[in-house]
């Protein structure tokens, strides 16, 4: 992929995390924003674009058909229009889009996106933290390129678990290779994302359930390392 350019349309938290995780995968990474003031950013080289169907200026600097586009505009209508515009001109372009929820994800797929990552407002910070985790390169790559090996599983904390009675925030999850821990479910079945301030103070108890994402082999290894067993095996990580 080193001869390919990553085109990121939209400048926000998702853009900066995508840059960090894909810059080693592509020869070039170009960021475009609808807002001219973003071009003054001192950390990133950001170019201005509008939603007209004239892509001549961008084509002067990159070969779009030999690129991958990340459409992450925060306004749903604008993001859908962007995908439609790109797809109508560039039939072979790989387009990855971000949606606020599944309904918008379906619209983006119909508009021509190859892959859509649906997010909800309450999980924005969680996604950012996931992308910043040590295994994010592998996980992000597999999500974007539609591999099906990733699974979501529920791991129930047993009486002999090695992490029972520990505070969530005190655990270095990077020690568990290939695993991202998303949330904890309590005995009363209430659930909290582990990155929330409340969850960070939670003391892991017997009967708690950790929701994790990873490959089957890594999930099994995680079960063995913490001394707990799978409670529910969810379907593959896909939408």
Each residue of 139-164: pLDDT tens digit? 555 544 444 466 777 888 888 888 88
Q: Are 150 and 142 in contact (CB under 8 A)?
A: yes
CATH superfamily to which 150-236 belongs: Regulator of K+ conductance, C-terminal domain (3.30.70.1450)
> Which of the listed ranges 101-115, 140-154, 164-178 does the model predict with the highest average pLDDT?
101-115
Q: Are 38 and 15 in contact (CB under 8 A)?
A: no
CATH superfamily to which 5-119 belongs: NAD(P)-binding Rossmann-like Domain (3.40.50.720)
What pLDDT shows up at residue 181?
79
The CATH 3.30.70.1450 portion of the chain extends over 150-236
Q: Tokens representing 150? A: 């990733």
What is the DSSP secondary structure assignment for residue 66, as one 8-state letter?
G
Q: How many angstroms separate the CA atoms of 179 and 134, rounded? A: 10
More confident residue, 102 or 129: 102
54-92 pLDDT tens trace: 677 778 778 877 889 999 998 888 999 999 989 888 888
**Helix count and strand count (H, E) for the chain:** 8, 11
pLDDT over 80 at 126, yes or no = no
The CATH 3.40.50.720 portion of the chain extends over 5-119
- SS3 call for 97: strand
């Amino acid at each position: 992929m080193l001869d390919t350019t990553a085109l990121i349309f939209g400048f926000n938290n998702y853009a900066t995390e995508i840059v960090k995780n894909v810059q080693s995968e592509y020869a070039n990474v170009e960021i475009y924003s609808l807002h001219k003031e973003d071009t003054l950013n001192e950390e990133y080289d950001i170019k201005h674009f509008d939603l007209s169907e004239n892509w001549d200026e961008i084509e002067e600097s990159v070969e779009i058909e030999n690129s991958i586009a990340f459409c992450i505009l925060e306004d749903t209508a604008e993001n859908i229009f962007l995908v439609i515009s790109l797809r109508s001109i560039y039939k072979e372009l790989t387009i990855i889009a971000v949606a606020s929820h599944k309904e918008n994800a379906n619209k983006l797929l119909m508009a021509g996106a190859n892959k859509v990552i649906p997010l909800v407002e309450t999980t924005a910070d969680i996604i950012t933290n996931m992308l910043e985790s040590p295994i994010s390169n592998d996980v992000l790559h597999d999500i974007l390129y539609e591999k099906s090996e990733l699974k979501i599983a529920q791991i129930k904390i047993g009486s002999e678990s090695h992490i029972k009675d520990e505070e969530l925030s005190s655990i270095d999850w990077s020690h568990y290779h290939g695993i991202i821990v998303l949330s904890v479910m309590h005995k009363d079945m209430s659930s909290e994302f582990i990155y929330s301030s409340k969850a960070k103070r939670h003391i892991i108890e017997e009967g708690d359930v950790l929701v994790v994402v990873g490959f089957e082999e890594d999930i099994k290894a995680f079960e063995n390392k913490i001394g707990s067993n799978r409670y529910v095996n969810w379907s593959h990580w896909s939408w």
